[in-house]
Structure 1
Amino acid sequence: MIARMWRGFAFPEKADDYVKHLQASVLPELRQIEGFQGVTLMRRDSPQGVEFMVLTLWESLDAIRKFAGQDAEVAVVAPAAQGLFREYDPTVRHFEVVLDTL
């Protein structure tokens, strides 16, 4: 299993809007992709705004490419979400999951 991690800093007044966007727009799309295993959304307050860490789990890099395209390292941030963030990582990081107890 592959973990895909992405981070962004939302404007505090728009942080809840990002959660809604993820639930209403992104998650339904992800669930349609064969190989998608799940998502965890984490948040914390920081000096730069509300920091979000998004962790998605996938069966393989091929499954990730069905979502992200051929360059799987590039972050997928919809235009509707871009305006909610003060800044965000333009790329993601992938990790092989070697232990998972959830």
Structure 2
Amino acid sequence: MATHQKIIRTWSGWTTLENASAYEKFLVEEVFLDVKKKGVDGLEKVSISTLTHNEEVQFFLVLQFSTLEAVKKFAGENYKMAYIPEKAKQLLKRYDHTAKHFELKQELLL
């Protein structure tokens, strides 16, 4: 029985301490809400994690897609490039210019 592998897309961006809550709110209330409204099929899950170090906050995003084609619907044909809306660029101190893509092999719920 053939199965397709889910794709995990990871990316990091860093904000100042002052911009961290605004950026998180922007992700939740604008970016991913817009993605859902646009009907990007295949985006199954988004995890937003943070790490505070010195005077900045790292945001580590993990997006789970059903297929690579779904990733391309989200990010475009040049899907390895990071998706950074203009407002995000105003809130971020720095960010990865590319995203990494992994095939999900196993998921264990313990």
Q: TM-score, normalised by structure 2?
A: 0.87
State whether residues 17 and 55 of structure 2, in contact with CA within 8 Å, keep that contact through their aligned partners in structure 1: no
2:26 corresponds to: 21
CA RMSD, Structure 1 to Structure 2 (Å): 1.2
Within 5 Å, which residues of 2 pair with 1:23-38?
23-31=28-36, 32-38=39-45
Structure 2 residue runs of 5 or longer lacking an equivalent are: 1-5
Q: How many aligned positions are there?
A: 102
Runs of 4+ with >6 A deviation = none
Question: Could you say which structure has the larger radius of gyration?
Answer: 2
Q: Which runs of no fewer than 5 residues in structure 1 stay unpaired? A: none
Report SS of the residue matched to 1:4: strand
Q: Which amino acid in structure 1 is aligned with residue 52 of structure 2?
A: D
Residue 75 of structure 1 corresponds to 82
1:48 Cα offset (Å): 6.0
TM-score of the aligned structures, taking structure 1 as reference length = 0.93
Residue equivalent to 2:3: none
